[in-house]
Amino acid sequence: MTDFLLELWVSALIELSKLRSKTRTNQAWSPGQRLKLLLMAYNGARNTGEDVRTQEMIRQFQRVLGAENLDLSVLTFDPARSSGYFEGSSQVSLPSIFPPFLWREIPKYDGVVTAKGALFQHTFANASTALMIGAMGLASNQGRMSIAYGVEAGQMDKLVAKMTQRYCANSLLILRNPESQETLRNLGVPSELGTDVAWTFEPLGAEYGQRILRKAGWDGAQPVLAVCPNRPFSWPVRASIAKAAARLLTGAYSEDHYRSIYFHNSGAEAKAAYRHYISGISSAVDRFRKERKVFPILVGMERLDEDACERISDCLGRAPVITSDQYNMFELVGILRCCHMLVSTRYHAIVTSMPALVPSAGVSMDQRIANLMRERGQPELVVSVTDQELEPRLFEILSKLDAQRECIADGIGRTVAKNVKAMAQMGMRIQRYVKERYPELPVRCGGCNWKNFVPPLSASLQKLVETYEPRPGD
């Protein structure tokens, strides 16, 4: 019910902004000023994937629009946990009760860019989706730039779907796969095809990653298998004033508390499903490591993943646990890229490992990993978190990662090259979008070279793209 009220509150503010925009003149950018943009994602939670996406979006925008032309601000849930991130921007703290914040904050900017990966879907939290839609709707009504950048659409609750239809139709929506486009097309909402924005991320090098693995007990010879679980049945997070009050007064619901008035999904069914998930992954990995002599590590891409990592680690006789609370995004992704195989419920563990051609597979809680595997031409490398045959199916997948590593790496390389080029197309689109609205902004023209529209590429990524980019007639 509290989520429903938040969604109604945000909707009411957007409707009110329509009336307000008819009677007031909005402050407009003028030549000589920097373009003020608010970048909104799931930052400040030590979610490595979202932090990487924001990092690369900043680098790309600075490249295609000129860092000297931009005044960037990044939304964060916890400034302490995002401290030191996102060079070239300032950080804005998001309060737990966010509708009044949106009303005050959006008019301060020339545009809003939302980049939460799982934006138009109910997998993680309707409240965060309402936050992003609210920002886009308010910006659009006030004549400001309103952009969703490299996001995904999936199943939505009815009210969220109606908010998307009503308040996002005039925004520039760049989605990262055709399946997401189809979802919005069914709602009558126009969108454009792009990609994720994490492909160009450059972590620390192999020397660092190998050093951390050796410190964790790796002998330097065994193949390293990274397992990246999460708590798939603890989502979505929902707002509840009643639970918040009960927790404050009696301590009830403390185990399920996320932050402020927000609580994880819980109950006997969720706990049973979680036990099956942990048991299935643990048993498959244990069987595989005994047969193939691999060195397993558990990697928590978000600090909330630590519980799943510790449980699986216990089942494996205390396999090493590495989490985003211990290591920043540059360090953690550097470690992933030194692994020899990877299986993950976290989408961005797979994406950020792919530029190193790490053979990877998914234990998927929604369509995102399945969509990625379909794009790679490897749909057999994913199993659902709810699959009753999780253990044998995952063991079979792990065996394929080992036996077919060269073929799998080839599909990965082609997908990375394709998506880096797609990022360049997104950069071109953003430059056109901004110039249409602010023709006097002194944006440097990137010419015909696609590399001018992506963040500066590392030598290894440039070589990968040159090796795997599609040739005429392919």
* Nearest partner of 335 among 292, 289, 299, judged by Cα: 299
- Long-range pairs for 240-249 at CB < 8 Å and ≥24 separation? 240/1, 240/2, 241/2, 242/2
Whole-number percent of the chain with pLDDT over 90: 78
- For residue 342, what are its two tokens? 């990877």
More confident residue, 272 or 119: 272
Range with lowest mean pLDDT among 145-149, 291-295, 412-416, 441-445 = 441-445
Instruction: Report whether 296 contacts 285 (CB < 8 A).
Output: yes
Mean per-residue pLDDT, 224-242: 92
pLDDT exceeds cutoff 70 at 35 = yes
Q: What is the pLDDT of residues 52-78, one digit of tens each?
A: 999 999 999 999 999 999 999 999 999
Strand partners, 297: 226
- For residue 44, what are its two tokens? 């400040």
pLDDT exceeds cutoff 80 at 107 = yes
CA–chain centroid gap for 10, Å, is 23
pLDDT exceeds cutoff 90 at 410 = yes
SS3 letters across 93-137? ECCCCCHHHHHHHHHHCCEEEECCCCCECCCCEHHHHHHHHHHHH
pLDDT value at residue 173: 97
Tell me what percent of the chain is helix, strand and coil, each rounded to the nearest 5.
Answer: 50, 15, 35
Query: Per residue in 326-363, is it b (16+ CB within 10 Å) or e — as a string?
Result: ebbbbbbbbbbbbbbbbbbbbbbbbbbbbbbbbbbbbb
- For residue 328, what are its two tokens? 């920043």
- For residue 348, what are its two tokens? 């961005």
pLDDT value at residue 24: 54
Query: Per residue in 425-462, is it b (16+ CB within 10 Å) or e — as a string?
Result: bbbebbbeebeebbeebebeebeeebbbbbbebeeebe
Q: What is the pLDDT of residues 322-343, one digit of tens each?
A: 999 999 999 999 999 999 999 9
Enumerate residues 6+ apart whose C-beta is below 8 A from 403: none
Mean model confidence pLDDT for the chain: 93
Residue written as tokens 């392919």?
A: 474
Q: Is the model's pTM score more than 0.85?
A: yes
Instruction: Report whether 226 contacts 316 (CB < 8 A).
Output: no
pLDDT value at residue 4: 84
pLDDT value at residue 22: 58
pLDDT exceeds cutoff 80 at 277 = yes
Instruction: Report whether 139 contacts 109 (CB < 8 A).
Output: yes
pLDDT exceeds cutoff 80 at 446 = no
CA–CA distance, 263 with 265 (Å, rounded to integer): 7
Domains and CATH numbers, the chain: 2-193 (3.40.50.720), 206-403 (3.40.50.2000)
CA–CA distance, 162 with 272 (Å, rounded to integer): 33
pLDDT exceeds cutoff 70 at 25 = no
pLDDT value at residue 286: 97
pLDDT exceeds cutoff 90 at 105 = yes
- What are phi and psi for residue 403, nearest 5 degrees? -80, -30
pLDDT grade for 20, boundaries at 50, 70 and 90: confident
Amino acid at site 59: R
- What are phi and psi for residue 228, nearest 5 degrees? -120, 85
